[in-house]
Every structure is written in structure tokens, then in C-alpha cells.
Chains A and B, each alone.
Chain A
């Protein structure tokens, strides 16, 4: 490693090509290692939280008192799966997206709980 100096006498190094390759490979490995680690953490997190969600309520639990109101359904729990492709007739995708958003808002339901079969402009 050849050592040079700046105007402020800071010691900085010039690398050979071989050393550069080594640092570059090491850097990529560190990035992959860190991100793979995060990926594994996410997978564990998903498994842990999904498992907790799927666990049924204990059977031996005492019945809730009648005067306690039932817990409202959580609105941000999305419906599973997709409803497939929508057929568009004389309607461009942007308009279709707007129409679906307006319908979902008017019905007060999340978009993925609704199924749109087709959108067609009616000309009278």
C-alpha cells in the first residue's frame, strides 16, 4: 500500500487493483450478508406474528359478560387473495382505477374485498 499525503497531511492510501478487487468483493459480501440477515428476520417476524394471529381463542375461556359490547371488526384486516383480471371496454386503466376507488369509498369497503368483473361506458 503506497501512502501519500494531502495538503492537510491526512494519511490516505492508494490501493493496487488486486487490493481494490478484494475490498469490492468483501463489500458486496457484507451487503448481501446484512440484507440476507434482514430477510431472515422478516421471515421469522412474519411467521411469529401470523402464527399468533391464527391461534384460536382458548376453548376453556369463560363466556364474555353480556353487557360488554362486541369488539368492532378491524377495518384494516385485508381480505385474502385476488379477484382476477377485470375486463375493460372503452375505458382506459386510469379511469377504471378511479371508478374502482370511488365505488370502494362509497361502499366503505377495502378494494380487495370487492370484485369488479368489467367496466363499460354506457352510451345512450
Chain B
């Protein structure tokens, strides 16, 4: 009888329910994951990503599942160091998991990580090496029409101005006291581009991946609410009513040459941007060439969907209670919002300047679309423009700055990686 009671006791102690009450923060994280699932499933906030992120968050916070182990990734970073020089928490993890390192020197390659890690650790390798964001960019490239940008190259200036949010948020993060690499990762939220934010953060500040990715995708979903008040505050009704001339036609040759030439020049200028921009332009070339329809179809459908599942789930998994629930997460959420607002301001202010210079030929509202978030930001420009003048059709004009913003945020990420990437 005693044996049975002891066995039941041991069984109880290995149950997740027992582990759940060991730390209240796990319960909080499960509640947060369920709230995010609600926002994705019911409110349709970027559901393709948010559902995966929220479920990854749920899985990683269920005790004893060991699906994702951030300590293994700390050991991966600490490769080659003496075990004795590691933090007590990491040393305890090594002892608890029976990891043996020859000569007391940490040796944690991807092979060891696959053996010691959980399912989500294995999926996370694609984030760590920057594979998923780059493949997502390839898919985005196959779905992007650079025609409006080619028809009005001045749109690129608006796309550049809207990167102001990145650098203002970076500066604010420095003021708050974040180290430079984390500040750069927080700043990139202002690029309003999820894959770019994940790509940069996984390289500069992997511990902050979850809050930054969640902030980036949440604010992208909230753009129709975030941008209009700033757009109305920074423009007059007369400006918003401005009707723009029809865009010039763009030939097929121009559309095919564009991705090739831009890749050559931009990657020569800033080589660190090559993985993102190269994949974006390769995807676009698949689309425009007309001879690789099958590849274009695969990149924008099957591949994109598969990578989205891996990316979202593994990013969500990084939100483990002991690393997510702290004042820094709250600060990142607030700074992310400011980054979006300043990005909108940057595009609008240059839009206003262009409105003055062209004597009212450019509607400043298209400047706010420079924040990337394709095509949501362009749709918001269209909506606010049409509210002021029902016969106003700004959508195609706003698509120019919108796709320019994608290039601009990739360039900004490349710059930040080159400077703070070590």
C-alpha cells in the first residue's frame, strides 16, 4: 500500500499540474497566450502569425514539456567558454540535464542542440540562422508589385522618411538604458515589417525575440487604428483632398530589370542586407519574369505557408515566463507603439514637404504608407484620403511608398546589423 501511495506521489510530482503551481508566472503566460489566441482567432488580428505565436507561447509555458529550452541557446552562445565561468542558473541547468562537456569547456553545436533540445528548439534553428525571415521575404517578393514604385520613383523618399520611427525608438531605448544591440532590435519594430524585426532581433538580441515580434505583428494589425489620428493631426483637409494624377505605365522590361539592378547596387552598398533584400528581389523576379510561374506559385503559397508555421510557432516559444514577464517587455511594447507613430510622422512630414514643393500635386497621406506593413498602410492612406474626398483614389499611389518602406526597413536593419552585430 505504501508503495502504491509513493508511486502515486511521484506520478503527481511529474504531472504538469504540480509544476504549474510552482511558479505563478506560468499561469499568467498561459492566460496571455489564450488572450492572443482570442485576438487572432476571433478578432482576426494577423491570424496567420498570431495564432502560431500564441500557440508556441502556450506550449513553452506548460511545465515539464521541455519543448523549448532557452538555456541551450545560452550555451550555444557560450560555446568554447569554461563551464565554471557560466552563471549559476546555467550551471544548474547543465547538472540537471546531465550535459557533459569535455575538459569543462562548453561545446554546443546544432547537432548537440538537436539531441538535447525539444521540438521547438529544433524549429528555432531556422530563426537563429535567419532562414525563415529570408524565405518569408522571398514569398513577399512574389506577391509584391513594384510597378507603382517604378511609375513614381520619388515614392522611395517617402519610404526612407518613414524609417524615422526606427531611429527615434532606438534613441528612446538608449535613453531608457537598453544596451545598443537591444535598442537596435527595439527600434526595428518601427520598420513595421515582422520578418525584418525577427531577422535582426534573432541576430542582435535573441532573448528579446518574443516581445519584439509580438509588438511588431500586433501593431501591424492595429495600423488602421494607430495611423489615422496622426495622419489627420499632421495634414489639413485641403491636403487630404488632393487628387493625384494617374501613374505612368511601366513596361515588363523595367519590372524584370528592377530586382536585378537593385540587388546588385544595394548589396554592394550594404552587404549585410543581402539575405533579406536578395530573397525579396529573387521572389519578385520569379513573379515578373513570366518564365518561372511554378516557382513563383510555390514561393507565395506552399513555401510561405510552411515557413509561416515554423516561424510563428518557434518565435512564440521564446516567450517563456521567466524571460518574458518583466518591465523590459512592457517598455518594448510602449516603445514599439512610439516607433510606429514616429514612422508615420516621418512619412507624413516629408509628404507635406513634397506637397509644398510640387504645389499640391502630391497628397501627403501617401507618406504614411512608407511604414511598410504591405498593403495595410496603403489601404489606410486610401481610406483617410477618401474620407476627405470621396472621389479620391490613393491606393496605387500609396503602394509606391509602401513597397519602398519594405526596402527601407531592410536597409535600416542591414545598417543596424553592420554596426551592432559585432
Residues of A whose CB lies within 8 Å of any CB of B are 4, 6-15, 17, 19-21, 23-28, 30-39, 41-43, 45-46, 49-50, 53, 76-78, 80-82, 85, 93, 112
Q: For B89, what are the chain A residues with a Cβ–Cβ distance below 8 Å?
A: 7
Q: Closest A residue to B162 by CB, please name it.
A: A31
Interface status of B149 (Cβ within 8 A of chain A): yes
Task: Sort A-B residue pairs by CB-CB distance and give the 4 closest, nearest first.
Answer: A20-B174, A24-B167, A78-B249, A35-B160
Interface status of B237 (Cβ within 8 A of chain A): no
CA distance A85 to B246 in the complex (A): 11
* Interchain CB contact under 8 A, A42 and B159: no
List 10 A-B residue pairs with CB atoms under 8 Å apart, sorted by A's residue number. Answer: A20-B170, A20-B175, A20-B183, A27-B163, A30-B411, A38-B407, A39-B154, A41-B262, A42-B258, A93-B391
* Interchain CB contact under 8 A, B265 and A36: no
* Interchain CB contact under 8 A, B408 and A23: no
Q: For A20, what are the chain B residues with a Cβ–Cβ distance below 8 Å?
A: 170-171, 174-175, 180, 183
Q: Closest A residue to B391 by CB, please name it.
A: A85
Residues of B whose CB lies within 8 Å of any CB of A are 74-75, 77-78, 81, 85-87, 89-90, 149-150, 153-154, 156-157, 159-160, 163-164, 166-168, 170-171, 174-175, 177, 179-183, 207, 245-246, 249, 251-254, 257-258, 261-262, 265-266, 269-270, 390-391, 404, 407-408, 411-412, 415-416, 419, 422
* Interchain CB contact under 8 A, A49 and B253: yes
| CB proximity of B134 to chain A, nearest CB, Å | 19
Q: For B183, what are the chain A residues with a Cβ–Cβ distance below 8 Å?
A: 15, 20
* Interchain CB contact under 8 A, A12 and B269: no
Q: For B74, what are the chain A residues with a Cβ–Cβ distance below 8 Å?
A: 7-8
Q: For A38, what are the chain B residues with a Cβ–Cβ distance below 8 Å?
A: 153, 156, 262, 265-266, 407
Q: For A46, what are the chain B residues with a Cβ–Cβ distance below 8 Å?
A: 150, 153, 254
* Interchain CB contact under 8 A, B156 and A14: no
Task: From B77, B253, B265, B415, give the contact of A31 (CB < 8 A).
Answer: B415
* Interchain CB contact under 8 A, B170 and A32: no
A37 and B153 contact, Cβ closer than 8 Å, known pairs A20-B171, A42-B258 = no
Task: From A13, A21, A39, A81, give the contact of B156 (CB < 8 A).
Answer: A39
Task: From A23, A28, A36, give the contact of B163 (CB < 8 A).
Answer: A28
Q: For B182, what are the chain A residues with a Cβ–Cβ distance below 8 Å?
A: 12
| CB proximity of A33 to chain B, nearest CB, Å | 8
CA distance A78 to B246 in the complex (A): 13
